[in-house]
A and B are shown apart, each in its own frame.
Chain A
């Protein structure tokens, strides 16, 4: 009965319409929309990857080998199971013209390529024609970026290694390119054209991928198990169309989860607005509540009446948010799908919408429960005594419910995001920021009250008025500082992280980093190469090391992937050998093998990675190199610093263990930027097979990739800030009536409009500055935490973005505050004061 009665009364109460709830609905809808949009896009990409799995992979399944081609046994297995097979060789090299050269990622293919889909070229000719040999010169199709970089025209020639190729077309789209990160733009050629290039010499860094077209209905899991059981120990890695692009899948999943967390921060900002809106609505309802009490309504009934109303409103806000969040991506799907580097299939996806609705509902309840619970404590005496009549704290059960809701929200985000550490960190950050902001607002109000009463403001009327209203009973300071502060905190954190990352890549790294990585230096070339470098006066330092690639297959005799999922055991790794510890080696535990050691293989492992995997001295590591297993005992740990872009290998074996295996050398060369061009020419002219990776160009590629992530994050942060601004507008609008009254009295007492405006502006600026300052501190802490614990890099406070945040905060509150100053300034005092009587 009580529930039905509550619902009936609530329905009558809602007849007043939704006018008082615009801010409530906007805040909730914006927050839900941001999360729903991110979720819809994530689902779209995942479904796109699933649908086009085979085309993306280039086959129903793929067997991949590092450093070598498949042997007869492996080829026989493929031919037994597949209806068609295509071989692709993938490696980096230099495309060279008369006086220039550029790094390129070569894809050498056979006649069966591509098994699925087609390669789009410009001019639109078939791939077979583009790659055909004409006039003794094999054809090649190049990425337009590479064509522009080398200023080539169709029909021009260039060399790869010692083989000359003819440019026949630009590659517009490869069906099996999923937009993964590569250092060099693409070149497509025929594998047999490489025979005379000298590029695939033993030890060169290349990968072979065998794409298989399987009969319909093939059990992929069974086939994978079979292939792995037979060939994994020979260094084969398997992928199939079920997860064609695990890298992208994981990347999209993580970025999506991260953006949902940013969206949650937006929802928390909105929560502040929701709470303020409900508080102000219920303040206006005190007479009604007291009347209800007078005629016999119990506190519980009153709570339910208003809970019903909030649930109905939350429902409206959430549905609006879901329509917006799912609708915008669908509406703009052609544009979005064209912009994304991977396939996306934008459609109505229920799961992300359920997730967004869950977050919306819990947030709405979390931020309204406190004011709702306080309706119980409104006393009937409020009717004749005035005031709000509700100073008591809500009952314990409501406080317990609040904590429960907070736990459900945090638990939900931890579970749904799939990145528990980041979700917990974000939740902690949001809660911590809210707490600090609430304390700041409280402190600011107290300080404002005291200062307004002190002698300091004597003679400074605008200041005293501003401080008086910040410290006053109906001050909007708390909701302004909370909402704007939280919105700016997210933006400040993004700004700090972004500029720190950019700085560490663009400024710090090149100072310490070499100018070039030279790879694929054959053993007989290393001595002349080093001699040439030594004779070059521009070269300040050269480091070199032998390099092989292998897959860690076993740890202490157990399959490595069962022991850990650390990046070291995922895919193939570079490894090196040395007889004596290279200069500057710092052994942290154990002992390096004696010089000239020829006994059982020993390995020195990178200390940090070893600790992460849980390795200890005496453990054994089995590495598969070119199909051969080498098992070595860990006899020492050493410090390896990957952040300087110098040569760093996780594993270094004793020389005798690997010297016999085919390998090449890697060399880092340090030289000033102005000498880089000539150095590159000298090396690529003399040794055509050597690949040069210019660090400066590589950094540009990394920065580009990072820029895309930063842009996505900035969009999500902008949604947060937009919500914050809505809350600001709401707070300013809520204070308008009080300000009209205040301005009327001031005018009666002789204050000019200029003075009144100055007081309003001062009040807004003070609140904005407080919110901005807290945001800078919160952003710096978040930036430090992410740089230190997630990026493993050093953090440096970035004053420019921080300064911009404070200024932005002041401007935003000024804008919102002054937008609502017009009516107070223009109202005629007599009108206002007569109404007030």
Chain B
């Protein structure tokens, strides 16, 4: 693989639980190239979401290193990570996480406002129109259906044109039809802007749409795919 955009070396994650420390990720080494799409699969509790969060700098590695766009995320503090994410990363969650007091348009414009983009609202509007929500610009999240909310979340993640798109089971809360539409949109955006996509999913069908599938089991890369991943 050439031009790696995300490189994890022996990345570990240990969290403090009530009964003592829990090793969530036990030394993951993984490299993802620019423009590649990777599906993260594995049983519940295998550490897929945690691995995705490490990649997005939303979780700090307890050991090893996480390099994104050539920068070491483990060396950055919370604020530096937040600044880094502006424009470089877009994250989509299973439960959307829109800000309930803001309209669809404001939600999408927000990351660009944070990055001091002057035409944040115009771009946000274009993005929402692109995902088919042109008539819903001024609706609040509570006035939108689950599928619509996820489309807003998608538009929010994609609008700043990030180099990396991270999606944590983006269709997990949606029915089949809506889920399919979201996935089409997600892959469409990725194809359109050439972003790198890392996708956590339980769906074999979705995983199959990715360039590569990485399987996790009990905090480790599963043996059969480990060699391919490296």
Instruction: Identify the A interface with B (CB < 8 A).
Output: 1, 5, 8-9, 12-16, 287-288, 290-301, 379-381, 383-385
Residues on the A chain within 8 Å of B116, using CB: 1
Contact B58 A294 (CB under 8 A): yes
A296 touches B78 (CB 8 A): no
B residues within 8 A CB of A292? 99, 110
> What are 27 A-B contacts with C-beta separation under 8 Å?
A5-B113, A12-B102, A13-B99, A16-B101, A288-B100, A288-B101, A291-B98, A294-B85, A294-B91, A294-B97, A295-B85, A295-B91, A295-B111, A295-B114, A296-B86, A296-B87, A296-B111, A296-B114, A298-B82, A298-B83, A299-B79, A379-B78, A380-B56, A380-B58, A380-B78, A380-B81, A384-B168
Additional A-B contact list (13), CB under 8 Å, known A296-B82, A380-B57: A5-B113, A12-B101, A14-B101, A16-B101, A287-B97, A294-B56, A296-B111, A296-B114, A298-B82, A380-B56, A380-B82, A381-B58, A383-B58
Residue numbers in A under 8 Å from B78 (CB-CB) = 293, 299, 379-380
Q: How far is the CA of A384 from the CA of B53 in the complex (A)?
A: 9
A288-B99, A291-B97, A294-B58 known; A384 vs B49 contact (CB < 8 Å): yes
**Chain B residues, CB < 8 A from A379:** 58-59, 78
Residue of B nearest to A17 (CB): B101
Residue of B nearest to A288 (CB): B99
Q: How many B residues, CB 8 Å from partner?
A: 31
B169 to chain A minimum Cβ distance, whole angstroms, is 10
With CB as the reference atom, state the residue of chain B lying closest to A299. B79
Cβ–Cβ < 8 Å partners of A297 in chain B: 82, 114
Asked whether, in the complex, the Cβ of B101 is within 8 Å of the Cβ of A13, the reply is: yes
Query: With A381-B53, A383-B97 known to touch, is A296 a contact of B115 (CB < 8 Å)?
Result: yes
Give 9 closest A-B pairs by Cβ, nearest first.
A296-B86, A295-B111, A380-B58, A298-B79, A381-B59, A296-B114, A291-B97, A296-B85, A13-B101
In the complex formed, the residue of A with least CB distance to B85 is A296
Q: Among the interface residues B57, B79, B106, which one has the most CB atoms of the partner chain A within 10 A?
A: B79
**Residues on B with beta carbons closer than 8 Å to the beta carbon of A1:** 116
Which A residues lie within 8 Å of B97 (CB)? 287, 290-291, 294, 383
B151 beta carbon closer than 8 Å to chain A: no
Say how far B142's CB is from chain A's closest CB, in angstroms. Answer: 11
Report the separation of the CA atoms of residues A16 and B100 in the bound assembly, to the nearest whole angstrom: 9
Docked Cα-Cα span, A488 to B182, in Å, equals: 58
CA distance A15 to B107 in the complex (A): 14
Q: How far is the CA of A290 from the CA of B100 in the complex (A)?
A: 13
Q: Which chain B residues (33-65) contact chain A, with CB distance < 8 Å? A: 49, 53, 56-59
Question: In the complex, what residues of B have CB within 8 A of residue A383's CB?
Answer: 58, 93, 97
Give bound CA distance, A301 to B113, whole Å: 12
Interface of B toward A, CB cutoff 8 Å: 49, 53, 56-59, 78-79, 81-83, 85-87, 91, 93, 97-102, 106, 110-111, 113-116, 156, 168
Most chain A CB neighbours (cut-off 10 Å) among B78, B86, B168: B78
Q: Which A residues are CB-close (under 8 A) to B106?
A: 12
- Point out the residues of chain A lying under 8 angstroms from B100, CB to CB: 16, 288
What is the bound-complex CA distance between A301 and B56, given in angstroms?
20
The chain A residue sitting closest to B169, CB to CB, is A384
If A12-B101, A12-B102, A383-B97 touch, whether A295 touches B110 (CB-CB below 8 Å) is yes
The CA-CA distance from A300 to B99 in the complex, in Å, is 19
Which residues of B are found within 8 Å of A9, using beta-carbon distances?
110
Hey, which chain A residues are within 8 Å of B58, CB to CB? Answer: 293-294, 379-381, 383-384
Residues on B with beta carbons closer than 8 Å to the beta carbon of A384: 49, 53, 58, 93, 168
Cβ–Cβ < 8 Å partners of A288 in chain B: 99-101
* Closest Cβ–Cβ distance, residue A293 to chain B (whole Å): 5
In whole angstroms, how far apart are the Cα atoms of A298 and B86 in the complex? 10
A15-B101, A381-B53, A383-B58 given as contacts; is B156 within 8 A of A295 (CB)? yes
Closest A-chain residue to B156, C-beta based? A295
Q: What chain A residues lie within 8 Å of B86 (beta carbons)?
A: 295-296
CA gap between A1 and B83 in the complex, in Å: 15
Say yes or no: B79 contacts A300, CB within 8 Å: yes
Specify which chain B residues have a CB less than 8 angstroms from the CB of A381 in the assembled complex: 53, 58-59
Set of chain A residues within 8 Å of B114, measured between Cβ atoms: 5, 295-297, 301
Q: Considering the chains assembled together, what is the distance between the CA atoms of A612 and B97 in angstroms? A: 70
Residues of chain B lying within 8 A (CB to CB) of residue A291: 97-99
When distances are taken between beta carbons in the complex, the residues of chain A under 8 Å from B49 are: 384
From A298, which residue of chain B is reached at the shortest CB distance? B79
Which residues in B have their C-beta under 8 angstroms from that of A15? Answer: 101
Q: Name A293's closest neighbour in chain B (CB-CB).
A: B82
Residue of A293, A380, A383 with most chain B CB atoms under a 10 A cut-off? A380
Closest A residue by C-beta to B15: A385
Which residues of B lie under 8 Å from residue A293 when comparing CB positions?
58, 78, 82
What separation, in Å, do the CA atoms of A294 and B85 have in the docked complex?
Answer: 7
How far, in angstroms, from A381 to B57 measured CA to CA in the complex? 9
**Closest B residue by C-beta to A287:** B97
Contact partners of A16 in chain B: CB under 8 A: 100-101
Bound Cα distance from A611 to B197, whole angstroms: 86
**A294 (CB) vs chain B CBs: closest residue:** B91
Q: State in angstroms the CA–CA spacing of A301 and B101 once bound together.
A: 17
CB closest residue in chain B, given A380 = B58
List the A side residues contacting B101 at CB < 8 Å.
Answer: 12-16, 288
CB distance from B153 to the nearest CB of A (A): 10
Residues of B within 8 A of A299 (CB): 78-79, 82
* A9 to B91 alpha-carbon distance, docked (Å): 20
